[in-house]
Amino acid sequence: MENRTQQEQASPEVRERVRASFDRQGLMSHLGARMTRIAPGLVHIVLPSRPEVTQQHGYFHAGATSAIADSAGGYAAYTLFPENTEVLTVEYKINLLAPAIGDHIEAVGTVLKSGRTLTVCQLEVHGVQDGRHKLVANGQQTLIRVNRPE
């Protein structure tokens, strides 16, 4: 799906719904994360490097890395959901492949299969230094579509 969505943009309505939901996330705001791409089934989230998101060796903390990966996948799924629904993570697994270093890290969530109830996404996180990307984490996630409470 990622090849197809590379050229596409989500509709203005979907982008607004996704951004409004993202803006309500206290954790993403606290971390300093920002959404940089919203396409059908594809979302990118960037987290700039700063001391508050690192661990004792100066690498991005696995919790921060995992948090933006989880949100990227969740919002990738959400781009394909009907307007009156919400998204919740059911489970995810992430492999930390290399120390997460760079000017920033970038999480990419890509929908692999969108179903009526469950959606499965691929998660990737890249360390970005001087424009060079290095894969530092990857994983898979299952999400559930729920009706928005009235």
Q: For position 68, which CATH number holds?
A: 3.10.129.10
DSSP state of 149: P
User: The pTM is what?
Assistant: 0.93
CB burial of residue 25 (10 Å; 0-12, 13-18, 19+): middle
7: pLDDT confidence band, cut at 50, 70 and 90? Answer: low
Position 116 scores a pLDDT of 94
User: 4: which 2 tokens?
Assistant: 């197809």
Segment 98-106 mean pLDDT: 97
Position 9 scores a pLDDT of 87
Report which residue type is found at 6.
Q
What is the tally of structural domains in the chain? 1
Rounded CA gap, 90 and 108, in Å?
18
Answer yes or no: is pLDDT of 5 > 70: no
**Least confident range of 6-15, 36-45, 107-116:** 6-15
Report which residue type is found at 8.
E
8: pLDDT confidence band, cut at 50, 70 and 90? Answer: confident
CB 72 within 8 Å of CB 109: yes
Answer yes or no: is pLDDT of 97 > 90: yes
User: 59: which 2 tokens?
Assistant: 């690498």
CB 126 within 8 Å of CB 135: yes
Rounded CA gap, 56 and 66, in Å?
17
Residue 44, domain extent: 2-147
Segment 3-20 mean pLDDT: 81
